[in-house]
Amino acid sequence: MTATPFESALAVADAVRRGERTARSVVEAALEAVAKRDPELHAFLHVAADEARAAADAVDDALRVGRDPGPLAGVPVALKDNLCTRGIPTTCASRILAGWRPPYDATVVVRLRDAGAIVVGKTNLDEFAMGSSTENSCVGPTRHPMDPTRVPGGSSGGSAAAVGAGLVPLALGSDTGGSVRQPAALCGTVGMKPTYGLVSRYGLVAFASSLDQIGPFARSVADAALLLEVIAGHDPLDSTSLDRPVPPVSRSLDAGVEGVRVGLVDELVGDAAPDVARRVREAAEALTKAGAVVEEVAVPEMRLGLSAYYLIAPAEASSNLARYDGVRYGLRVDAPDVAAMNVATRTAGFGPEVKRRIMLGTYALSAGYYDAYYGKAQRVRTLIVQAFDRAYERFDVLLGATAPSTAFAVGERTADPLTMYMSDVCTIPSNLAGHPAMSVPFGAGDDGLPVGVQVLAPALGEVRMFQVAAALERAAKARWG
């Protein structure tokens, strides 16, 4: 990770609450960092400078009268631009939503503000979160913070690059098939997908509703834990929200891993490049040295995840994106009649990858093909869930690669969708199962770019997952500094 004006989110919040720094000075440092680096990186689609300064002043005013602004007091946060922000553009990096300003905030945005965090802007993404490189954005790609000739991953590449470059200490993304964890791995940050339903999806512009989850990016496991505790919890506005207490993940970070059962997943090592696989095995060795019981395990059903996902996710996208019709909001291309207007609007408004997935999903749901494709994919999804259940009878967590390679070159995979889709082969199974998983930086590949190691856990297993992630982080710091 690159140099940053922020030690950590925890340190920033502590300094602001103690009066050692003002929230306004912290926000100015973030805005200065964005102004300096973002012309090269293109991590942000919109910088909410005026709103951020006003929010920072409100935090400082609260402190002056003795009121605690919250656990993220004065901490700058970036939001993926598929999270609704009242009065601030939310475009999903798509022409079809150009200029749209939602009349409401996503639940996670409300919770961030209630915790004293300062939203500094909206980050770039693959259009409607469909992609693995942030090259599908209608306004151009985001660049890798360490090597601008490489991609930052996707679809939450803007958020990953913003944190990896030190522009902000925290960011939010969405993870439908790996879109938080994969870019976190490529950019050398911590990235985490919660259990499905642990974090409200209200105000997240839907891609695939049974798979989408909002998750944190951070520069440390402790910062990610704090951010998760802020945004998680039951929300009556989301019918899929779990009515469960928020897991106290921060309490587990110093517990160590003595006796923890860790399964090193063959498929999540064998599908990775040799330099990535080497780092994963070194991570397993570090956990063994720290007292964990590590054994190899085969979960062959994981290899079915990619084909099942690319039927289920496009099918749900086909349904969700039908609302963009040129009538209610967003782009409208006039035509002689309504049907022609719908076609013209969608033709002009959606990019090639979104159109590809809508057509694939519509075909999979069509009469005569539903059972052969979508129905079969759902049965495969059940097989994957059952395979995970068997693995978690033996192990507390599973371990593997987050991404099969380090960051690849801009333009390298855009002409080959299947190769691009393979970027998510290690992350997709957790989305299909609804389980939590997170990526922790663990050294670098042969090209000097970051490698992420993935820790997977059963549903609502976040506490143990963060416990293991913290141990990996300590091992990485001891080895590489």
In DSSP notation, 309-325 reads: HHHHHHHHHHHHGGG-S
Place of tokens 């999806």: 201
List 179, 220, 252, 405, catalytic entry? 179
Rg (CA), the chain: 21
How far is C-alpha 452 from the geometric centre of its chain's CA atoms? 14
**CA atoms 411, 46, 167, 421: torsion sign:** negative
Catalytic residue among 8, 94, 155, 423: 155
Outline where DSSP puts E strands in 277-389. Answer: 293-297
Rounded CA gap, 404 and 420, in Å? 11
Q: Is 155 a catalytic residue?
A: yes
Q: Which of 8, 80, 405, 439 is catalytic?
A: 80
Can you tell me the distance from the alpha carbon of 308 to that of 284, in angstroms, rounded to the nearest whole number? 29
Residues 344/117, Cβ–Cβ less than 8 Å: no
Cα separation, 175 vs 132, whole angstroms? 11
Q: Which residue has the tokens 């099969």?
A: 404
Q: In what order do the strands lie in the sheet with 170-175?
A: 44-47, 118-123, 76-80, 170-175, 213-218, 190-193, 437-444, 450-456, 397-401, 261-265, 293-297
**How far is residue 312's CA from residue 433's CA, in Å, rounded to a whole number?**
13
b/e for 185-210, b at 16 or more Cβ within 10 A?
bbbbbbbbbbbbbbbbbbbbbbbbeb
Is 141 in contact with 7 (CB distance < 8 Å)?
Answer: no
Q: Where in the sequence numbering do the catalytic residues fall? A: 80, 155, 179
